[in-house]
Amino acid sequence: MLYLFPTPLSDNPWQESIPLEAVEVVKACNLFVVENLKTSRRFLRSMISDFDIDGSTFIELNEHTPDEEYIEIVQTIKDRNTVMLSEAGLPGIADPGGELVALCHDWDIPVKPITGPSSIVMALISSGLNGQQFTFHGYLPVDKRERQVFIKQMVRNIRETGYTQIFIETPYRNTVLFEDILHHAPVELRLCVAIDITGKNECIKTRSIGSWKSTSKPSMHKIPAVFCLGA
């Protein structure tokens, strides 16, 4: 069994983000597939004060993992209960864990998700925009021209289908992206900016593009944020 285990989105206590019973899953496992060794061990120790690091096996899986190692990892976890951890939030959304999960299905290794914080969904439900139908685009193009084309395509999607458009940016470029949207999206559409979800500086606001243009902008430079654009 491969457990997909969440980690907190911000540096708040795990008790605010992870169900108490989920800790029992970790206690029953001694094999861990992690994106980063150091932060994962720190997280496990914060959750279980007497966590047995020396008696546990850690496998690092991240963007540096060569393709051929995936099969080795699958063979290792095949008959053992394994916990997969990502750096923030749920594993498998925006990290290389997804490929391992796909292999687990090929090998008939059961996969079990554990409840945890998803910044995408938490932004969406807090936005008040259409939550019945939506598209998540991940990172928008960095190139200014390509990004402009992309924003205009999202606006067309909203007008034709009503689907909420969700996207993210590398935190230090958040402010530039925000200005780009205000520039290229029509004034009547609504934009939600969900900043530092679950964190100390959490700020989630939905305004029309027109209204954003004439009010003060929330501080989002170098802070993780999720953007939702909708009708």
Per CB under 8 A, 21 contacts its own copies: yes
Nearer CB in complex with its own copies: 53/146 = 146
Nearest C-alpha neighbor of 172 from the set 225, 119, 211: 225
Residues in CB range of 46: below 8 A, 6 or more apart:
14
Stretch that binds its own copies, among 31-39, 59-67, 170-178, 199-207 (CB under 8 A): 199-207
First to last CA, the chain: 42
Stretch that binds its own copies, among 55-63, 74-82, 177-185, 202-210 (CB under 8 A): 202-210
Question: CA-CA distance, 173 to 156, in Å (whole number)?
Answer: 24
Nearer CB in complex with its own copies: 54/188 = 188
Are 16 and 8 in contact by the 8 Å Cβ rule? The answer is: yes
Nearer CB in complex with its own copies: 127/174 = 127
Nearer CB in complex with its own copies: 48/53 = 48
Q: 103: part of which helix (H) or strand (E)?
A: helix 97-106
Q: How many CA atoms lie within 13 Å of 206's alpha carbon, on the beta-carbon side?
A: 16
Q: Name residue 2's beta-bridge partners.
A: 82, 111
Question: CA-CA distance, 210 to 212, in Å (whole number)?
Answer: 6
Per CB under 8 A, 218 contacts its own copies: no
Tell me, residue by residue from 101 to 140, as one string, x for binding to its own copies by CB under 8 A and - for no binding: xxxxx----xxxx-xxxx-xxxxxxxxxxxxxxxxxxx--
CB of 173 to its own copies, least distance (A): 17
Per CB under 8 A, 65 contacts its own copies: no
Footprint on this chain of its own copies (rule: CB under 8 A): 4, 13, 15-22, 90-94, 97-105, 110-113, 115-118, 120-138, 163, 192, 197-198, 202, 204-207
